[in-house]
A and B are shown apart, each in its own frame.
Chain A
Amino acid sequence: MARVVGADVRAKRAGIGAGLTLAEARALAPSLVTQTQNRDADRAALESLAIWADRFSPHVHLDGDDTLLLDMTGAQRLFPDEEALLRRVIDGVGELGYTARAALADTPGAAWALSRAHPADLIVAGPGQTAAALASLPVTALRIDDDTVCALQSLGIETIEALLHLPRSSLGSRFGDRLLYRLDQALGDEPELLTPFRPPPVLKSSLRIGRPTDRYDVLREAIERVLACFCEQLERRVAGVRQLFVTFGCPELRPITFELNVSRATRSVKHLRSLLVARLEDLQLPTGAAGVTLWARRLEPLDAWQDELFDTGRADAQGLAELIDRLTNHLGAHAVARPRPMSDHQPEYAFEYACLVGSDCGLRSVDCGEVRGKQSEARSEKKEVKPRGAERILADSHFSLLTSHFPSRPLRLLPRPVEVPVIAVVPEGPPCCFNWKGTREVVVDCAGPERLETGWWRGRHVRRDYFRVKCRSGRQCWLFRQRETGKWLLHGWFD
């Protein structure tokens, strides 16, 4: 059951909050745009924010999915005005595209509590004023589990102040040590250890070429050496690379950089070399190259495995991945795709192509004709982002329904249906003969009509009567008549 974990301002105004199911959310706001939670991407974003926050404090700790704890001890010289500091943090994070709430206090626990539960999104608790600042906050701000919170609330203890009024001994025996521990941490009676975040060192390897050259053999040799060093580092980290940048330094010119994506994490020298050398052929180096550098952008753990003679399954999968990489490298990321079904009755929308390399992108057949060769525009043209899990199940079941009960579909579907002049015996009836590219085709047999009425949510209500038509020459094609206009169009060939 897909549930909402976060909503933006407009969705919140419509009443959508965390915990609602997707269906309920859609009922509240039919034009909702949804995206599946991507924990890895969230974590990566938080890590990049932690690196950004380095300018304020050398000790940044990641807490949970969405919290950064910065240790500001000893930073009074640099940031004498604490409120201004918090304002800078919030503004800086805002420029990066996030909204933040910030709080400054004596202890990590108190800062956590204040940033979450205090009504203001910027609050400074002065030295020694921790207890007073925490008093009015609800007990949920103490980082205790939900059961304890329920138990406290059932007893009528809503705020921390109320909690502090209770005798300590009874707290421990009633609710366990954890509550006392968290309380003491918040007030500063119990120390809290935070491990600072250290980003993994960037994996790169570079080689300087003595005399700038654009000779193919020299560049190949350079790439060979750089790759050997690069893959050795990958092996030491027991990782494979998914995305890397290759930079050629050119004297007196800006360096030339291009990106390489692979569909499966790899550290195979042979595979990376074949991809790089293929790109080398298209490279323009007017002043020659003085150095080559490889930077790993995205790594994934890759276990050390040996090529086994009998492990054909893995070798096959690897071979296929390498084929996909070679094709993508030469033809572009959108050229290699696996089609998957969509739950839509309109034939051109009944499937979408899912690219295999690079970020997730779904292109429908109607979009493909426009975006071929214009890859950067493809992402902005994507109108709707569908959640994967639930829709995919729907689409598959829809499709199995399609194959078992519905007539067959043509193997070739024209990207845009083409209008053909058709003579039909009865205005609403089946076609009798039609002209295709100068040839007159007489219909000897046809099956239909298959009436499709769909697409009203896309703005254009599509009402078509499809006929599978067999001609006297033996060809079979798929014609339809638009119900509003009476025009006949040819949509595909049963080739």
Chain B
Amino acid sequence: MPAARLDHDERIVREDRLRQLRDMLEGYRRGRRNGSCRLVPTGLARLDEALPHGGLPGGAVVEILSALDGGGAMTVALRAAVAAADGARPVVVVDPRGDLYPPAVWQLGLAKDLLLVVRPSSLPEALWAFDQALRCSCVAAVVAPLERIDGAASRRLQLAAESSGAMGILLRPAADRRHSFAAVQMLVEPVPGQAPGWPSGGAEPSFSSARLCRVSLTKVREGRPVEPFVINLGDETGIEPLLPVSVHGPAAGERRRIGA
């Protein structure tokens, strides 16, 4: 019937126009970043699902907050950097504490000639080095643990990242959650460990190769708010326990067993 067909056509045309307008808006929003925005999927499935567009923004600053040493925040940071490097572009790590261990970074899959380490001797130098590396368009990602950054510095870093297309990854203490200009800010906490239950007569307990962390996205540009979720960092090489053992406090009547 002609009336229905016209409606159908009109609807299609209208939808088409709406889609075009939406794309234009996206383009304007992206165009603000000089069109250098690319998406970097981190490879951690739940994290990529929670992020808008399925990955971290390539030309922006990402802040990873953590409260504890050994919680997994640096692994997340370096996994994102390795994903951004994509096997072709260098990654710069600023190491003011002097405790980066490169063999572990190589185990995450970064080629040896793509890792560049800068070792400044003070916090202002570290901030300056981070800023300089971020302005270089040939660098894929810059990772730095920085403790105190004020709002002006944060804004400057974000602008630098947008202009060059490099991803800046900052590791900050969770207590210092001041208003920042980062495009993505997430809090990474380790999931408290539970002693695996003592199986009554079965398999030996072994060091689990799942490494669970709870991630809360405290700030995402253009993102929907999501509940905190758990990601599995896995274990980079598949840890082979040489002496599988599990220790917990003695309970009445239980025998302590140490695997051979």
Neighbouring B residues of A444 by C-beta, 8 Å: 193-195, 246-248
Q: How far is the CA of A470 from the CA of B213 in the complex (A)?
A: 13
Q: Say whether A316 contacts B138, CB under 8 Å.
A: yes
Asked if B116 contacts A338 (CB within 8 A), the reply is yes
Instruction: A151 to B104: give the CA distance in the assembly, Å.
Output: 59
Query: Which stretch (A50-58, A197-205, A328-336) binds chain B?
Result: A328-336
Given contacts A449-B242, A449-B243, A474-B192, contact A425 B256 (CB under 8 A): yes
B233 to A, closest residue via Cβ: A494
Most buried by B among A399, A472, A495: A495
> Cβ of B89 and Cβ of A474 under 8 Å apart?
no
Which parts of B54-108 form the interface with A (CB within 8 Å)?
66, 68-75, 78, 89-90, 92, 97-107
- List residues 104-163 of chain B with CB under 8 A from any CB of chain A: 104-107, 112-113, 115-121, 125, 128-129, 132-133, 136-139
B contact residues around A316 at 8 Å (CB)? 89, 137-138
Within 8 A of B (CB), among A290-344: 315-317, 319-320, 322-324, 326-327, 330-331, 334-341
CB nearest neighbor in B for A466: B242
Q: Are B129 and A315 in contact (CB under 8 A)?
A: no
Partner-binding segment picked from A6-14, A119-127, A154-162, A403-411 = A403-411
CA distance A336 to B136 in the complex (A): 15
B190 lies within 8 A of chain A by Cβ: yes
- How many angstroms between the C-alpha atoms of A415 and B98 in the bound complex? 7
Is the pair B70, A403 in contact by a Cβ cutoff of 8 Å? no
Residue B258 CB within 8 A of the other chain: yes
Question: Cβ of B237 < 8 Å from any Cβ of A?
Answer: yes
What is the chain B residue whose CB lies nearest that of A441?
B70
Query: B104 is contacted by which of A411, A430, A449 (Cβ under 8 Å)?
Result: A411
How many residues on B have C-beta within 8 angstroms of the other chain's C-beta atoms? 70
In the bound complex, CA of A372 to CA of B136 (Å): 26
Question: Given A331, A468, A470, A495, which contacts B129 in the complex, CB threshold below 8 Å?
Answer: A331
Interface: A192 (CB within 8 A): no
**Is B207 interfacial (CB-CB < 8 Å)?**
yes
Question: Which residues of chain A (359-379) have a CB below 8 Å from chain B?
Answer: 365, 368-369, 372-373
Contacts of B98 in A (CB 8 A): 365, 368-369, 372, 415
> A100 at the A/B interface (Cβ < 8 Å)?
no
Q: How far is the CB of B216 from chain A (nearest CB, A)?
A: 15
Contacts of A402 in B (CB 8 A): 103
Taking a contact as CB atoms closer than 8 A, the residue among B97, B103, B248 that contacts A409 in the complex is B103
Contacts of B119 in A (CB 8 A): 331, 334-337, 353, 368, 372
* A350 at the B interface (CB under 8 A): yes
Shortest Cβ gap from B92 to chain A (Å): 8
| B239 with A415: CB separation less than 8 A | no
Cβ-defined partner of B68 (8 Å) among A365, A432, A447, A475: A475
Q: Is A173 located at the chain interface by the 8 A CB criterion?
A: no
Interface contact A327-B129, CB-CB below 8 Å: yes
Residue A38 lies at the interface, judged by CB distance under 8 Å to chain B: no
Whole-angstrom distance between the Cβ of A221 and the nearest chain B Cβ: 25
Q: Given A445-B246, A473-B192: A412 and B133 within 8 A (CB)?
A: no
**Residue numbers in B under 8 Å from A350 (CB-CB):** 103
A351 to B105, CA, bound (A): 12
A474 adjacent to B99 (CB under 8 Å)? no
Which residues of chain A are within 8 angstroms of B207 by Cβ–Cβ distance? 445-447, 468, 470
Whether the Cβ atoms of A495 and B69 lie closer than 8 Å is yes
Contact A445 B195, CB 8 Å, known A412-B74, A474-B68, A474-B190: yes
Interface centre among A331, A340, A351, by most chain B C-beta atoms within 10 angstroms, is: A331
User: Using a CB-CB cutoff of 8 Å, which residues 215-244 of chain B contact chain A?
Assistant: 235-237, 239-244
Given contacts A443-B247, A447-B242, contact A476 B70 (CB under 8 A): yes
Number of interface residues of A (CB under 8 A): 70
B247, A430: Cβ atoms closer than 8 Å: yes
- The answer to whether B78 and A411 have CB atoms under 8 Å apart is yes
Tell me whether A223 is interfacial, beta carbon within 8 Å. Answer: no
Q: How far is the CA of A339 from the CA of B139 in the complex (A)?
A: 17
**A426 contacts the other chain (CB 8 A):** yes
**CB–CB A476/B247 < 8 A:** no
| CB within 8 Å for A331 and B102 given contacts A320-B138, A445-B207 | no
* Interface: B13 (CB within 8 A): no
Task: Name the B residues within 8 Å of A327 (CB-CB).
Answer: 118, 129, 132-133
Assuming the A-B contacts A330-B128, A474-B193, are A447 and B139 also in contact, with contact meaning beta carbons closer than 8 angstroms in the complex? no
The residue of chain A having its C-beta at the shortest distance from the C-beta of B74 within the complex is A495
Contact A319–B74 (Cβ < 8 Å): no
B-contacting residues, A394-426, CB 8 Å: 399, 402-404, 406-415, 425-426
Q: Are A410 and B191 in contact (CB under 8 A)?
A: no
CB contact between B70 and one of A369, A373, A430, A475 (< 8 Å): that residue: A475
B208 within 8 A of A: yes
Scan B192-209; emit 1 where CB is below 8 A from any A CB, else 0: 111110000000010110
- Knowing A341-B103, A446-B247 are in contact, say whether A495-B70 is a contact too (CB < 8 A): yes
Query: How many angstroms from the CA of A412 to the CA of B101 in the assembled complex?
Result: 5
The distance in angstroms between the C-alpha atoms of A324 and B92, with both chains bound, is 10
Q: Could you tell me if B235 and A474 are in contact, using CB atoms closer than 8 angstroms?
A: no
Q: How far is the CA of A284 from the CA of B245 in the complex (A)?
A: 63
* Cβ-closest 3 pairs across A and B: A474-B190, A475-B70, A339-B102
Interface contacts beyond A323-B136, A327-B133, A330-B125: sample of 11 additional A-B pairs, CB < 8 Å, sorted by A: A320-B90, A331-B118, A331-B120, A373-B121, A408-B107, A411-B78, A411-B105, A432-B247, A447-B243, A471-B193, A476-B190
Can you report 18 A-B residue pairs in the complex whose CB atoms are below 8 A from each other? A316-B138, A326-B132, A327-B133, A330-B129, A341-B112, A368-B98, A415-B98, A429-B245, A445-B208, A446-B246, A446-B247, A447-B207, A448-B245, A468-B207, A472-B193, A474-B189, A494-B72, A495-B74
